[in-house]
Amino acid sequence: MALPVGEDRTTLFARLGSRGCDIGHRTSLRDVGSLSLATLGARCAAVERVGGTPSAAATTLSLHAEQSRNNQYARNIDDGLAWVTAADSAISSSVTLLRRARDLTLQGANDGALDATAKEAIAVELEGIREELLANANTSILGRSVFAGTSDAGAAFTADGTGGYAFTGEPGSSVQRRLSDGVTVRVDADGAEVFGTGPDSVFALIDDIVADLRSGQNVAAHVGRIDERSTSMLSAQGAVGARQSQIERAKGIAVDTSVSLETRRAAVEDVDSVEVLVQLQAQELVYRSALQVTGRVLQPTLMDFLS
């Protein structure tokens, strides 16, 4: 829709503001040029509608506060999902690697069918599995390990230089995310529980198997240790999966809440755009008429050019 003669959007913005319509509380002069006349009028009418009723003003303030809080919960949920998904993926991969390690250990235990060269090949593959397990154990989100609790160490497990592996996590700590009012959930996993520590760690276990293969000792006894570590991993994976399901349910609730709050806000703040447009057109007609009358009354004279 065309603007009145001699008036741009900035002038209209100021004129609407002088009529008690504070559309500038969310729209700057810099942005007003991109708004249509109907949009400016709609915002004006919405503010006047809410401001004219104290109860409506209180309601809209409350709704905006609820929307802000729900948006924060939604961000927490997305972040929490990233954490539990990373932990679940790392544990799942580690379980698969341990299954392969178990198969290789059973093969290596067949002393009568394997010579030293074959056992060395198994040992080399097991060393590769150990490195992959270590990489999984050091999975991180934005520089923070998902298996080290609240520790700010970049890696949950590090080689100590003596053939051992040190756990750098904070014992007994956990990373929490608030999903809604009064509801928090753990989003990390206990690295010590999943991978073990010291000589009982899965990394030390693989090293023991490799050492026995190369020294000619039978490795059948290590199969039971692998099974124990696999059981611990599966238990941890189940716990992480349960928390992941909880967070996903919370995400659905947050989405529904967002829709509900926006519907309630619109019922209080929004106006009928067609009605506003008709009113603006009527005001524009009056304004144009006033400009034309003023232009005829204030006709320039010869004295205007001589002064």
The pLDDT of residue 288:
81
Q: Does residue 276 form part of some domain? A: no
Residues whose CB is less than 8 angstroms from the CB of residue 12 and which lie 6 or more positions away in sequence, other chains included: 3, 4, 37, 40
The pLDDT of residue 4:
43
Look-up of token digits 């611990």:
232
pTM of the shown model? 0.71
The torsion of the CA quartet 44, 50, 54, 57, rounded to 10 degrees, works out to -110
Per-residue pLDDT at 48 exceeds 60: no
CA–CA separation, 40 and 27 (whole Å): 9
User: In the numeric block, which tokens belong to residue 224?
Assistant: 């039971």
The pLDDT of residue 187:
96
The pLDDT of residue 64:
85
Average pLDDT value for the chain: 82
Q: Does residue 32 form part of some domain? A: no
CA–CA separation, 195 and 145 (whole Å): 14
Confidence band for 26, pLDDT divided at 50, 70 and 90 = very low
The pLDDT of residue 275:
64
Q: What is residue 3's DSSP assignment?
A: P
For residue range 185-205, list pLDDT tens digits in order: 999 999 999 999 988 999 999
Q: Does residue 204 form part of some domain? A: yes
CATH number of the structural domain spanning residue 155? 1.20.1330.10
Look-up of token digits 């073990």:
196
Pairing of strands 144-145, 140-141: antiparallel
Domain total in the chain: 1
Confidence band for 305, pLDDT divided at 50, 70 and 90 = low
265 or 247, which is more confident: 247
CA–CA separation, 275 and 112 (whole Å): 92
Per-residue pLDDT at 49 exceeds 60: no
Contact status, residue 77 vs residue 254, Cβ threshold 8 Å? yes
Average pLDDT of the residues in 284-305: 71
The pLDDT of residue 60:
78
CA–CA separation, 147 and 77 (whole Å): 19
CA–CA separation, 95 and 89 (whole Å): 10
CA–CA separation, 193 and 210 (whole Å): 23
Give residue 175's domain range: 87-251
Q: Does residue 175 form part of some domain? A: yes
Contact status, residue 168 vs residue 156, Cβ threshold 8 Å? yes
The pLDDT of residue 191:
94
Per-residue pLDDT at 5 exceeds 60: no
Q: Does residue 265 form part of some domain? A: no
Pairing of strands 157-159, 165-167: antiparallel
CA–CA separation, 60 and 44 (whole Å): 16
The pLDDT of residue 274:
63
Per-residue pLDDT at 13 exceeds 80: no
Angle at CA of residue 90, ends 87 and 94, nearest 5°: 135
Per-residue pLDDT at 12 exceeds 50: no
Residues whose CB is less than 8 angstroms from the CB of residue 229 and which lie 6 or more positions away in sequence, other chains included: 98, 195, 196, 202, 205
The pLDDT of residue 141:
93
If one counts every other C-beta atom within 10 angstroms of the C-beta of residue 233, the result is: 23
User: In the numeric block, which tokens belong to residue 195?
Assistant: 């991978």
Q: Does residue 257 form part of some domain? A: no
Confidence band for 306, pLDDT divided at 50, 70 and 90 = low
Contact status, residue 228 vs residue 102, Cβ threshold 8 Å? no
Alpha helices in 22-53 (DSSP H): 29-32, 37-51
pLDDT > 70: percent of the chain: 75
The pLDDT of residue 283:
78
The torsion of the CA quartet 107, 109, 114, 120, rounded to 10 degrees, works out to 80
Q: Does residue 236 form part of some domain? A: yes
Q: Does residue 219 form part of some domain? A: yes
